[in-house]
Amino acid sequence: MRRHDLITSSVWFLIGLSIAIYAPTYGLGTPGMVGSGFIPFIAGILMCCFSAATFLNAYLDKSGIVKRIWGNIQFRNLFLVLFALLIYILLLEKVGFIICTFFLIVLLFRFIDPETWLTSLLGGGLSSILLYLIFETWLEAQLPKGFFGF
């Protein structure tokens, strides 16, 4: 496993480095106007950072401490979050931003980091309304209205 991590992280580092080197040829843009190479440039840098961290982690882990650290992950919560986000994406256009966001946040509050129903419902309601006000009113972004019209 350690050798595998060293090899794959090196390969991903080289891929990220090549992306970061060639992305500026598309133009990074200016502070006021992002160019088409900006996002690939940032993605390449992030790939380099994450693969370097994985490489160092695998290189320095001779005693199996990483296995002990990662051994306590609750994969049920991970898959629940991924499933909830998938459902959120699929229903967002049909149901609307406020309702989908409300149910997503209530689900996360209630089942991922167990809170009371009152805290979950209040957190979901306040968060979805606040996010709606920020994006729709302040930033004037067009959010999906859904079949209720809000």
Residue 149 falls within a domain, yes or no?
no
Buried b (16+ CB within 10 A) or exposed e, 101-128: bbbbbbbbbbeeeebeeeebbebbeebb
Domain enclosing residue 124, as ranges? 75-138
Give the Cα separation of 28 and 68 in Å (integer).
42
Give the Cα separation of 17 and 43 in Å (integer).
10
Question: Do 7 and 64 share a structural domain?
Answer: yes
Quick one: pLDDT at residue 1?
Answer: 60
* Number of domain units in the chain: 2
What does the block give as tokens for 150? Answer: 């809000």
Mean pLDDT of the chain: 86
Residue 99 falls within a domain, yes or no?
yes
Question: Do 99 and 59 share a structural domain?
Answer: no
pLDDT band at 87 (very low <50, low <70, confident <90, very high): very high
Mean pLDDT is lowest, of 22-31, 38-47, 61-70, 131-140, for 61-70
Residue 56 falls within a domain, yes or no?
yes
Residue 30: strand pairing partners: 33
Position 62 pLDDT exceeds 80: no
Quick one: pLDDT at residue 69?
Answer: 58
Question: Do 92 and 44 share a structural domain?
Answer: no
Question: Do 98 and 59 share a structural domain?
Answer: no
Question: Do 120 and 66 share a structural domain?
Answer: no
pLDDT band at 113 (very low <50, low <70, confident <90, very high): confident
Quick one: pLDDT at residue 144?
Answer: 85
With pLDDT > 70 as the criterion, what percentage of the chain qualifies? 89
Residue 143 falls within a domain, yes or no?
no
Quick one: pLDDT at residue 142?
Answer: 86
Give the Cα separation of 147 and 150 in Å (integer).
8
Question: Do 80 and 127 share a structural domain?
Answer: yes
User: Which residues touch 9 (CB under 8 Å, ≥6 apart)?
Assistant: 51, 52, 54, 55, 58
Question: Do 85 and 64 share a structural domain?
Answer: no
Question: Do 79 and 55 share a structural domain?
Answer: no
